[in-house]
Chain A
């Protein structure tokens, strides 16, 4: 059997985090009641004129600068004509031949190797409304709220060759857009979605195979699963002597199958032309330079800093930088004096767990980074053990008090009193003669059991290091 290579390009749609829509002043809030966020512009009523939101242009330029694109000094909006009830105007305002950003790239890492993925262009456009299909009546129901929500479409080069690479690219885009604050990238709310263009070719063949486009994937899982489905399907078609048809496909995430959406032979003909209702956008170089200056530290640089300055592992740096809210919190906690590794651990394990438990989002940690720094200091100066530290953390989610206040109120201060510890150790040895004998005869793990007994007897408050030492002393 011929060996095949998969070739993947992505079209990534990012909903911008503006308050108002791209061409009118309606709200963009997600989840509002149906048909409550619309106006004559959204409905395309005769005489209604769009005016572009300044913030959309700024966000689009920032997105381009953060992905190594060239930002155009001159661009314009175009009209893309199509009849579909999700856009009442019967056209979408988008950009055609003069997009705001072109020729970018991002370095990704997948399966242990790095590669550079090119970005062809980023353009601004309006989102369409929402259609709900009713199979029984054969009708669809239209909600205008999403009409005109600003979108960026990021089109990559076909530089990816596996689902892992496509996922890595999408993850990079997500963390960059979140970091620079242009989108919340909530895939479950559709603010980040992706179309996958995929073809296969025998390894060594120069020419691309015929590609298909799987539309509207809204989770990393569906991107990965639809890619492995589609590459297998195409290879099977070719291996059985068939031909790949250039077509748009849909992915059913529940069933784990993709299927053809349209069998139209015609190339789509959108009859683009310059949007007569909007004037060109001119960005002087000084303005573009100023926007570039205003960008925060980008994820790749941040990851590197976490490794070199904070001494975190590559995996830890990746995990933390992927959630900008956590990375920002980490930086602030460290600035407030926290030990990097300890703060990182809280942000990778304890805090995410408690956020989930309390139904909070990553941006809603209910205490300040300085409080985390204080908690870590209390553990490190042996005022409390790390297990008590976890309990204090949980308390921080339910009350507004400093770690010190919580420890005092709960009587959780660590016992470093030599006499008390010595007593508890003696008792533990007396109560567990077998373990003591085991340790003496060389079974090192018996010590852990005895430490556990002492900790239990002292309500977790004994200084574990001192307990260890005392036990060793008495059993030697």
Chain B
């Protein structure tokens, strides 16, 4: 199944990825997407007539924990990978780009 350029642009946007501008690079991506989708589409060929629907590959259910508090990481440990920090907070790109428009997908 061939993906359209519009669909490719849409997926790139959802994934916060920049779409290359030159047509050759775009075509390469379209080819790759096509082969990925074709691979996934093979699932549709399987006969599932007598197979119960499931939501998980493991034959497990109700794996849970008691409501008990255990130690968290220290603030220092939490911030260890933060590219930038201010006043013990992670410094992140502006979540609000201007007063009227929030950048959120």
* Residues in A lying within 8 Å of B, measured CB to CB: 18-20, 25-27, 33-40, 42-43, 45, 51-57, 76, 81-86, 98, 131-133, 138-144, 250, 259-263, 268-269, 271, 274, 276, 278-282
Contacts and interface: CB of A to CB of B under 8 A. Distances in A.
Nearest to B97: A138
B72 A26 contact: yes
A20 B100 contact: no
A262 B90 contact: no
Interface of B: 14, 16, 54-58, 60-70, 72-75, 78-79, 81, 86-96, 100-102, 104-105
Contacts of A282: 61-62
A18 B89 contact: no
A282 B64 CA distance: 11
A108 B100 CA distance: 35
A142 B90 contact: yes
Nearest to A145: B72
Nearest to B63: A279
A263 B81 CA distance: 34
A142 B89 contact: yes
5 contacts: A43-B81, A143-B89, A144-B90, A279-B62, A280-B54
Given A53-B64, A85-B95, A259 B16 contact: no
Given A98-B55, A140-B94, A269 B14 contact: yes
A255 to B, nearest CB: 12
A132 B96 CA distance: 10
A397 B76 CA distance: 43
Give chain A's interface secondary structure class. Answer: loop
A19 B102 CA distance: 33
| Top-3 shortest CB links A-B | A141-B89, A25-B70, A55-B67
A54 to B, nearest CB: 4
A139 B91 contact: yes
Contact of B78 (A76, A84, A144, A281): A144
A27 B69 contact: yes
Given A261-B102, A274-B55, A279-B58, A139 B68 contact: no
Given A53-B65, A76-B56, A259 B88 contact: no
